[in-house]
């Protein structure tokens, strides 16, 4: 187990649940913690940035998609002790333009795929897994 230093503090992440035609967008993580798991677009909230701006920036950087509507969704609090990480993740639900998602960061994501909420892969990134265990179901997701 990695032991956090005395300077370690929880980080804030933003997860973007993009719903299109009843499906949600997931990417397979590579090259960082959570490698081999499936995650939503998203990332770290930067200093002075709104949650909505972070969602727009991260989604564009990772998928090339432009977000249209953004609405709040639940948050999770995940301690990933084996990796020495603690994240509070603020989720949002969003719609995006009809373009196909692109793998804009191939060193971080193996590719983007659409899934039914009820039929997501078993290997979910911990914050997304926690969100599903809370019983949350996005509006319009099958």
- pTM, full prediction: 0.93
pLDDT number for residue 108? 95
Of the candidates 74, 63, 67, which has an alpha carbon nearest to the alpha carbon of residue 127? 74
Q: Is the pLDDT of residue 116 over 90?
A: yes
Under 8 Å between Cβ of 93 and 71: yes
Q: Which helix (H) or strand (E) holds 16?
A: strand 11-20
Lowest mean pLDDT among 2-11, 43-52, 68-77: 2-11
Mean local confidence (pLDDT), 9-27: 97
pLDDT number for residue 6? 44
Domain ranges of the chain: 11-115
- Please give the CATH topology (third level) of the domain spanning 11-115: Nucleoside Triphosphate Pyrophosphohydrolase (3.90.79)
Q: Could you count the other beta carbons within 10 Å of the beta carbon of residue 142?
A: 14
pLDDT tens, position by position, 40-70:
999 999 999 999 999 999 999 999 999 999 9
């Amino acid at each position: 187990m990695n032991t956090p230093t005395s300077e370690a503090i929880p980080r804030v992440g933003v997860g973007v649940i993009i719903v299109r035609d009843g499906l949600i967008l997931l990417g397979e993580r590579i090259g960082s913690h959570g490698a081999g798991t499936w995650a939503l677009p998203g990332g770290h909230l930067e200093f002075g940035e709104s949650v909505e701006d972070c969602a727009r920036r991260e989604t564009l950087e990772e998928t090339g998609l432009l977000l249209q509507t953004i609405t709040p969704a639940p948050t999770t609090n995940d301690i990933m002790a084996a990796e020495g990480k603690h994240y509070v993740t603020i989720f949002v639900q969003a719609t995006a333009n009809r373009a196909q998602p692109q793998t804009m960061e191939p060193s971080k994501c193996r590719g983007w795929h659409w899934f039914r909420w009820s039929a997501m892969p078993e290997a979910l990134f911990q914050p997304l897994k926690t969100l599903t265990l809370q019983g949350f179901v996005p509006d319009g997701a099958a």
